[in-house]
A and B are shown apart, each in its own frame.
Chain A
Amino acid sequence: MKRIVPPMVVLTVILGGWYALAYSLDNNFASGDGSALIVPPPHRLFVGLNDPTLDRIVSATWISLSAALVGFAIATLVGIVLGVAMAFSRAIESALWPWLIAVQVTPIIVLTPIIIRVVGGTFGARVMVTVLIAFFPVAANTLFGIRSVSTPLHDLFTLAGATRLTRLVRLQLPAASPTIFAGLRIASGLAVIGAIVGDFFFTRGTPGLGRLITFFFQDTRSGPMFVTALVASVIGLAFFLVIAGLRRLLISPWHRP
C-alpha cells in the first residue's frame, strides 16, 4: 500500500495538470483525428491511432528497445572493463580519465561522421550512441567501488597469497558491486535516452522511436507523438525496474549501507 499510493498521488497530480494545460490552451480538438499539433488531453491521446500507425510504433519500439538493450549490455561491459583497468593502476587511470570526460561532454552530433564510417548509419549507430552515453557512470562507479575496498580486506588476501585475479574476482568486484549497481541504474536510463537520441542523428534503416516522434511532429499528429513518447518512458521504466529487481536479488540480501 505504502509503495502504491505515493506514485498514484503523483500520477493524479500529473493527469490533473495535463488536463488543466490541455483545456487552458487554445486547442482545437474539432478535427478529431489528432492531426493538429496540440496538447491533447489524456483521454484523446489514442484518437487517430489507426492500425498502420500502431504498426509503425510497434516496429519502432522493437528497434529502439533492441538498440537500448544491446547498447546497455556493451556499455556495462565496457564500463566495468574500463573501471577495472583504471583501478588496476594509477597510470592507466590518469591516462584514461581525461579522455573519458572528453567523450562524455562531446556532443554526439560531432561524432556522427565517425560513427557512420565505423559502424554505418543504421542499427549499429544507435547502439554506438547508447554506449557512448551510458558507459560513463558504470566506469566511474566501478573504479570508485574498487578503490573503496578497505586495507584490512586487502591484507587478508595478501596474507593468503592471493593472485591478482583472485583478488579481483573474490574481493574487489563483489565489494564494488553495490556501487556498480548504482552506476547501472543511472546507465539504464541513459541507455534508453541514447537509443532515442541516436535515432535523431541517423536516418537510415527502420525508424526507431526517436525518428518516429520526429515524423509525427512533422505531420502535426500530436496524439501518436505523445503515445510514442509514452512508449519510450515505459521502456525506460522497465529498464529501471529490471535493474532494481536484479539489485534486490543479488545485492540487497547481504548489503547494509
Chain B
Amino acid sequence: MAITTRTVVHVDGISHTFGGALALGPLTFAVHPSEIVAVVGPSGCGKTPLVRISAGLLEPTSGAAIHSDRRPGSVGYVFQEPALLAWRRVADNARLFVTRRDEPIVERLLRVSGLADHAAKWPHQLSGGMKMRLALVRSLAASPDLLLMDEPFGALDQITRHRLHDELLSLHVDQRFGAVLVTHAIDEAVYLADRILVMSGAPGRIVEEFAVPFAGRRTNELRYSPPFAELCGTIAASLGRHA
C-alpha cells in the first residue's frame, strides 16, 4: 500500500476476538475515493464485525481502521436490516441528521428513489424494498465519503434487488462515495464492485482479490453475458476452496 495513495478508509492489520475466540482477521485492505469494494464470504466469517470496525463503531482487538477525514456524517452505513425509526415518517427518517443546508440533497434522493410520493407515510407502511431504499437514502443524505453496506439487499426478491443495484450505481455516479459492500451474493458483488475481496470461513481473512473489468458496462445485459458468468464462477470456486 503506497502511502501517497489517498484512501477513505485504511483497515490496517485488524483482527477481532469475541470472548477470547478469534472471529476475524488479521486482515488489511483500503478503499479509495469513489471506489466500490465488495467483500464476499461465507455466513459467520465475521463480515458484520468487519463492517463495524471499518466504521469505527467497534474497536478491533488489534490493528486499526484509519479514516482520512473523519467528521459526523462522513461515514454512511446501511445495516443488514433497514433500522428505520418507526416513530418518524419517511421524510423525517431521511433527514434524521441532516442540516438545513443539505435539505435539497434529501429532497432529490427521495425523488430519485421514488420515495417522494410516500414521504408522509410511516415506515411500517412501506414494502421491504422501499424500506431498504429509505435506509440507503438516509445513509447518503449527509453526502458521506465512505458508504458501508452490510448485506443491504439480502432480504429482497431478485427484481427489487436488481432495481436497487441500478439505483445505487446511479447515486454513486452523482455522489462518488467510496463504498464497502458486504454480500453473500456473488453476482451482486460482480455487478456493483470495482474490486472483490474473498473472505475465508471463520476466522475470516482476505484470501483472494479480484478486479472487476466491467466499469461503464453495468446494465442488465451484463448480468447474462459470458464474461460476467465466468467471473462469478471463478469467485465461487475461490469461495469454495477457502470456506
Contacts and interface: CB of A to CB of B under 8 A. Distances in A.
Interface of A: 150, 152-153, 155-156, 158-162, 171, 174-175, 177, 253-256
Interface stretch (B79-87, B169-177, B184-192, B223-231): B79-87
A152 B122 contact: no
Q: Top 9 closest A-B pairs, CB basis?
A: A161-B72, A152-B83, A152-B79, A160-B97, A256-B124, A174-B87, A254-B122, A254-B87, A155-B57
Contacts of B122: 253-254
A255 B55 contact: no
A35 B96 CA distance: 66
A155 B139 CA distance: 12
Contacts of A156: 77, 79, 83, 96
Binding site secondary structure of chain A: helix
Contacts, number: 53
B52 interface: yes
B73 interface: yes
| Size category of the binding interface on chain B | 20 to 34
A156 B77 CA distance: 7
B193 interface: no
Nearest to B82: A152
Contacts of B55: 155, 159
Nearest to B79: A152
A159 B86 contact: no
Interface SS, B side: loop
B205 to A, nearest CB: 24
A152 B79 CA distance: 7
A161 B79 CA distance: 17
Interface in B66-112: 71-73, 75-77, 79-81, 83, 85-88, 96-97
A155 B79 contact: yes
Contacts of A153: 83, 85
Interface in B105-156: 122-124, 142
B72 A159 contact: yes
A255 B87 CA distance: 7
Contacts of A253: 122
Contact of B81 (A152, A158, A255): A152
Contacts of A171: 85
Nearest to A253: B122
Nearest to A251: B87
14 contacts: A150-B83, A152-B83, A153-B83, A156-B96, A158-B57, A159-B57, A159-B75, A160-B73, A161-B73, A162-B97, A177-B87, A254-B86, A254-B88, A254-B122
Contacts of B123: 254
A159 B123 CA distance: 21
B228 to A, nearest CB: 32
A254 B89 CA distance: 8
Contacts of B79: 152, 155-156
Contacts of B124: 254-256
Contacts of A162: 97
A167 to B, nearest CB: 12
A155 B52 contact: yes
Pick the most buried of A159, A254, A255, A256: most chain B CB atoms within 10 A of its CB. Answer: A159
